[in-house]
Structure 1
Amino acid sequence: MLALLSALWAWATPPSASPDEPAHIVRAASVVRGELFGEPSKDGHIVAVPRYVGDAHRLTCSAFHPELSAACPLPAAGSPDDTVLAPTTAGLYNPLYYALVGWPTLIAHDASGIVGMRLVSALLSSLFAALAFAVVWTMRSRRVPLLAFAVAVTPMLLFLSGSVNPNAVEATATLAVFCGMLAIVLSPDPARLRGRAAIVAVAAVLAVNARGLSPLWVLVALAVPLLLADRSTLRALFRRPAVLLTAGLIGAGTLAAVAWTLATNSLANAIAHPEEAQAFPLVGAPPLTGFSNVLFDTVEYAHGLIGLFGWLDTPAPGIVLYGWGLAVGAIAVGALLVLRGRRLAAAIALIAAFVLLPPLVQAAYIHGGGMIWQGRYALPLFLCLVIGVAALLADQPFADGAAWRRLRVLVLIGAAGGQLWAFAAALRRYAVGSAGSLHTFLFGDAAWAPVGGVLPVLLATTAVIVVAALLLLRATDREADALVIDPAVAPAVRPAAADRAARRAIPG
């Protein structure tokens, strides 16, 4: 379902209509052709790519102008497969993601190669989200965190999944790392340890190499679940070969990511070579300015986690933003009110990371590079916060009985309605402009329309959202069976039938 929803977003999003997508398209096409850097210039690194890839820069006529439709002028004449020179501002970024998604351009000889890259990116991000879901499914108390996926998977995550951009893959891979670690600590099971460790290792290696800041998010995903374990549990875990191998693989992947970032100076290239980078506001401002600007605008930046489409110029409808914010706030406040001990400490750590790490990053960057922060950059932290806090709340009294039945129906109806409303609003913006006629959008001759027309896309999306909601409703209907616990790994954990106080001896 996630892959289908992401593919529908890819279908409904015009070429080059997501943030910085032309730069990522050019980067991916150049990496799979063996060109890792290109020549630096004031417009980015110049690389050789097929003409249809280079023309992605020409299809941004409506960027930052939500009142305009996506009906852009046609690219320049010439064979779409001719080799041309094109700039990319992503020319120093870690090549792993781009190598994974760029290969369709080696097969296709026209704009279908870009569609192929979008679909591959959608599959990658959906794969890791599915792995995270599957790991949570194996946990003893699973209903609450499974339902929380309806809140964590925002329209913005699906929008980014359906574009050529490492942001969504970074976020879902980090979530897979986090869920794997949570399952290992909260629901230890020797029969599943190797599989969980393999998911953590593969997801972590990809995640740390997705973007420059990715190692920081993965560190949070690895460290916070360990707050739930006592010393004896940690000693037992780190005697397991699977855990040691996983730690070694993650360490090697992280070293490779950090080495690339330091060797290319990709995070600070704009500071070292301002003539080769876009200028951002407030260059030269003190760190406190960057910290306070992002901290005090946390709610505003959160729009970029829920729904800020186009080139971050088209917010989701206000009621969608409000409803999602209410759900996330209820999860966070509920955790602070009812959790105790290690679980409370882990919840506070997740909330603090989400609130404080973005301001700290901006504080470190502002003097030399200006204000660069965007809300979508914190998607990995957001996913870990929502799923993690929900998992910590999973054994509370509300997760059973009539109250639970009402809660999950309310959440799923709200999430499904919000997804469809946000999708329709974004599609309308592309088709007729954000203030364009609703009648023309649905029934008239829209200036731009996806292949097949507006109505078929809306109907297909509605059907997939409804099916996804029904499947999640069914998945959250029954509690997981009690798992067999290996006393060598978790000596204090008893089966689900044991009293809750004893069960919390390990997780907090």
Structure 2
Amino acid sequence: MRPRWVFTLAFAAFFLISAAWALALPVNGTYDEKHHIVRAYAVAAGHWLPDGPASDGTTFGSEGFDVPASLLPGNVDCAVGAKRRGPASCQTPVAGGQLVRTPSAAARYSPVYYLPVGLPLLAMPDGTGILIARLVSALMSALLLAAAATTAVRLGNRVLVAAVALVATPMAMNLGGSVNPNGLEISAGVLLFVALSALLNGPVTRRLLVLAGVAAAILLTVRQLGPVLLAVDVAACAVVAGRARLTALARSRSARSILGGCTALGVVLAGAWLAVSGGADAAFVPQRVVHGDLAPHIVTDRVPFYVRQVVGQFGYGETTLSPYAICLWYLLCLAVVVPALVRGGRRLRLTIAGLGVFCLAMLVALDWHFAPLSGWFSHGRYAMPTGVGIVLLAALARPVRRPHWLPAALVVATLPVHLYALARVMTRFSSGMDASLNPFAGGWHPAGGAVTPLLVAVLGFVALAAVGWITQRSAYASPGTVLGEPDNGCVTPIGQSASRDTKASTTDAASL
């Protein structure tokens, strides 16, 4: 099958799975969505800086925007949070186009993500506009994930295709299908690791340069932690590839112009916005300040929370998947990582361990800093744009003896966890926290009914399973790119003649 069909299937898979979440969730049904909705509408309306002080009685957000009253339902917070266990039927639609000052904890976030997502809200400032905005967000994330999967297939690396599916956790799909830039940021991290690793360990093509450049620019501009995560991601890929391969890439004129240009553009945009906005520092919130010794709480409460959320802790943290489902997902990841640790080179092992240490240290440091000022801050999802590299770099290790059916089996094994996660969260919002698993019962249902998001998810799962099957049966893929080889100065040729480079880039562009 041609690469363009692989891309189409992969895009359909990731978009439909995220779209299922977009259809299934009530407004503000996932982390901070109401704040991002207000921010997206304001950016689309041309209000890039806050209109003034605002508060809704909670401890989140001290600045806000003048938005239509219909943008958010009444009692928007009634179904989320640790103390709220009822269904989402408590939300009530609000009519009227009068402007009301509404707070947003994202009031000074970069407008890059919010502009395309906010356009539907500008046209329809209500539940319908929010659904379309979610689908726009899902589309952007799916494009990046599909490009990563297609690149993996082009490399002939079946395990890497499975790794892309594994790092697209239910949490990542949930965020991708909501109004929240974190989903796009995670997808950009996935694409950056795949495209940059391919560039550092094989021929340079314009397609790979553009993909890596776009991913880098997104990481630099959509969230505040992005520049730090980008630097760590690039450093990890460079360390594993080795000095000779890094030098060869740096000597490529097209790499300097395309990859360097995209990165420079991202730096300029991020720097300009920081100068204009003044940053988005967390405010002092006395009600949420944590007193006493932080270390025991971080070890016993926060670290397990980071680990659970990477796979599936939804809503505002009150809805968690079964520990068995979370453990199953991590076991699937270990099926990729452990062989790489055993058979990979020393640099690869150190890099994988270093990425894990960095992610944990970053989250702990943020909590340690902010807990005495504004309460617990860190979420496991914040580290995912870098944490995904643990699985992706492991998949790019030197060939390891694995059953030929294992990559496809890993992809298929993720599907029941995705479906269970969706059904579990739907049940929580339809019947309340304490209800038994049944998304069709209860007093609240999505606008299209409970069947619609589940059916859309199943279609996405079928497309994802097809990608796994194609990867196993693929006859056109080249020998897989590998990492972790000894750096003895004999590197994979990384430069190409102008004619070959042009031909490759033309073929690649046609496929996407």
Interval containing the TM-score (normalised by the shorter chain): 0.7 to 0.9
Q: Work out the number of aligned pairs and report it.
A: 467
Matched, 1:155 2:173: no
Deviation at 1:330, TM superposition (A): 4.2
Deviation at 1:329, TM superposition (A): 3.8
Deviation at 1:13, TM superposition (A): 0.7
Distance 2:163 2:14 in 1: 15
Deviation at 1:67, TM superposition (A): 3.3
Q: Aligned to 1:220, which of 214, 217, 232?
A: 232
Matched, 1:451 2:451: no
Q: 1:304 to 1:438 in 2, by over 3 A?
A: closer
Q: 1:13 maps to what in 2?
A: 25
Distance 2:199 2:112 in 1: 28
Kindly provide the amino acid, as one letter, of the partner of residue 58 in structure 1.
Answer: N
Q: 1:505 maps to what in 2?
A: none
Distance 1:237 1:408 in 2: 30
CA-based RMSD of the aligned residues comes to 2.8
Q: Aligned to 1:45, which of 53, 63, 84?
A: 63
Q: Aligned to 2:147, which of 125, 131, 135?
A: 131
Distance 2:248 2:435 in 1: 62
Deviation at 1:240, TM superposition (A): 1.5
Deviation at 1:438, TM superposition (A): 5.1
Q: Aligned to 1:397, which of 396, 401, 413?
A: 401
Distance 1:299 1:389 in 2: 23
- C-alpha contact 2:289 2:372 (8 A) present in aligned 1: no
Q: 1:501 maps to what in 2?
A: none
Kindly provide the amino acid, as one letter, of the partner of residue 93 in structure 2.
Answer: P
Deviation at 1:374, TM superposition (A): 1.3
Matched, 1:62 2:79: yes
SS in 2 for 1:85: strand
- C-alpha contact 1:19 1:310 (8 A) present in aligned 2: yes
Q: 1:231 to 1:280 in 2, by over 3 A?
A: same
Q: 2:264 maps to what in 1?
A: 251
Counterparts of residues 99-498 of structure 1 (less than 5 Å) = 99-140=115-156, 142-186=157-201, 188-190=202-204, 192=205, 194-245=206-257, 246-261=259-274, 264-270=277-283, 274=284, 279-282=287-290, 289=294, 293=298, 297-392=302-397, 395-398=399-402, 403-405=403-405, 407-436=406-435, 441-442=439-440, 446-478=442-474, 480-482=477-479, 492-493=491-492
Listed one character per residue, the Cα deviations across residues 120-160 of structure 1 (whole Å, up to 9, x for unaligned) are 111111111112222222225x1111111231111111111
Q: 1:506 maps to what in 2?
A: none
More divergent stretch after superposition (260-269 vs 125-134): 260-269
Q: 1:189 to 1:433 in 2, by over 3 A?
A: same
Listed one character per residue, the Cα deviations across residues 51-98 of structure 1 (whole Å, up to 9, x for unaligned) are 222x3463221112563111024234x42x333321111111112111
Deviation at 1:224, TM superposition (A): 1.0
Kindly provide the amino acid, as one letter, of the partner of residue 153 in structure 1.
Answer: A
Q: 1:252 to 1:155 in 2, by over 3 A?
A: same
Distance 1:261 1:415 in 2: 39
SS in 1 for 2:473: coil
Listed one character per residue, the Cα deviations across residues 276-314 of structure 1 (whole Å, up to 9, x for unaligned) are x5853326x78xx46982698434311111111122210
Distance 2:295 2:199 in 1: 37
- C-alpha contact 1:104 1:114 (8 A) present in aligned 2: yes
Q: 1:84 to 1:67 in 2, by over 3 A?
A: closer
- State TM-score, norm by structure 1: 0.84
Kindly provide the amino acid, as one letter, of the partner of residue 342 in structure 2.
Answer: L
Q: 2:58 maps to what in 1?
A: none
Deviation at 1:452, TM superposition (A): 3.2
Deviation at 1:345, TM superposition (A): 3.2
Q: 1:356 to 1:463 in 2, by over 3 A?
A: same
Q: 1:16 to 1:297 in 2, by over 3 A?
A: closer
- Consecutive unaligned residues of structure 1, counting only runs of 5 or more, are 485-489, 496-508
- C-alpha contact 1:15 1:56 (8 A) present in aligned 2: yes
Kindly provide the amino acid, as one letter, of the partner of residue 90 in structure 1.
Answer: A
- C-alpha contact 1:304 1:375 (8 A) present in aligned 2: yes
Kindly provide the amino acid, as one letter, of the partner of residue 52 in structure 1.
Answer: S
- Consecutive unaligned residues of structure 2, counting only runs of 5 or more, are 1-12, 56-60, 482-488, 495-512
Distance 1:469 1:4 in 2: 13
- Give the share of equivalent positions with the same residue, in percent: 27
Q: 1:469 to 1:251 in 2, by over 3 A?
A: same
Distance 1:291 1:389 in 2: 32
Kindly provide the amino acid, as one letter, of the partner of residue 60 in structure 1.
Answer: D
- C-alpha contact 1:290 1:371 (8 A) present in aligned 2: no
Distance 2:53 2:210 in 1: 39
Deviation at 1:244, TM superposition (A): 1.4
Deviation at 1:322, TM superposition (A): 1.4
SS in 2 for 1:48: strand
Q: 1:492 to 1:46 in 2, by over 3 A?
A: closer
Listed one character per residue, the Cα deviations across residues 443-472 of structure 1 (whole Å, up to 9, x for unaligned) are x5x301113322343234224313321332
Listed one character per residue, the Cα deviations across residues 26-63 of structure 1 (whole Å, up to 9, x for unaligned) are 0110111111222134552121112222x346322111
Listed one character per residue, the Cα deviations across residues 177-233 of structure 1 (whole Å, up to 9, x for unaligned) are 2211101012x114x2x2111111122112211111111111122121111334333
Q: 1:492 to 1:332 in 2, by over 3 A?
A: closer
